[in-house]
Amino acid sequence: MAKQGYHHGNLRQALVEAALGLIEAQGPQGFTLSEAAKSAGVTPAAVYRHFAGRDDLIAECALQGFRIFGDLMNHAWNDGRPSALLAFEATGRAYLAFARRFPGHYMAMFESGLSPSVTPDLAAAAARAQGVLTRAAAALCDHLPEGRRPPASMISAHVWAMSHGVVELFARGAPGARGPYPPEDLLEAGIGIYLRGLGLIPADTAPDPSAGTAPDTAPADPAA
């Protein structure tokens, strides 16, 4: 439906919002500038006063998305409080929450085929968001001897890839609709297995098969 009555000065944002709706419904490459203009209630010629083309419009959607995403990730990290491990896990939950709450932004950021380096502002916003996860990974590694510390950038890249996979496979639509477990549980378990494999958190106590349930204990957080 075309948006009516936008005020002078916010046409650029009206076009962004129109594009976000079209991206969510049809994919980043599934709409035209003419459709975006129609959805915003303006002529196609008006779009070119603000954007050089469709990729430029999508890049603006991605830029705004990365800025929101970076704020959410930074809030979730909370300077590593109450512990580095719990804060790290919170960033994973924030990733899933962002993908659900802002699907158009998410698709523009990660599914449009545009490189973050397409503009300096977009590159900076993407680097800021990635930097939160890298700092979180570095904090988890602090308790390890320097020679045994995995590169924080590698850990953050692995966890980012795991988070994206959970979003793509299990978090589209209703939570858990396409998998046997809620996406949050899948991601938390995956991160736990990954961090234990790196020696960043201790292994769980092995369950007693005769007890029928796992022991009600949790490993200490060495990064607290």
> Residue 24: inside a domain, yes or no?
no
Query: Residue 137 sits in a domain of what CATH number?
Result: 1.10.357.10
Residue 9: the pLDDT is 61
Higher pLDDT, 16 or 175: 16
> Residue 159: inside a domain, yes or no?
yes
Task: Please give the C-alpha separations between residue 125 and each of 9, 60, 93, 138, 155, in angstroms, as whole numbers.
Answer: 24, 11, 20, 20, 20
> Residue 37: inside a domain, yes or no?
no
Higher pLDDT, 86 or 219: 86
pLDDT tens column, 41-73: 998 888 888 998 899 999 999 999 999 999 999
Q: Is the pLDDT of residue 134 over 90?
A: yes
Number of structural domains in the chain: 1
Residue 197: the pLDDT is 84
> Residue 34: inside a domain, yes or no?
no
pTM above the 0.85 mark? Answer: no
Domain of residue 158: give its range: 58-201
Q: Enter the tokens of residue 134.
A: 């890298």
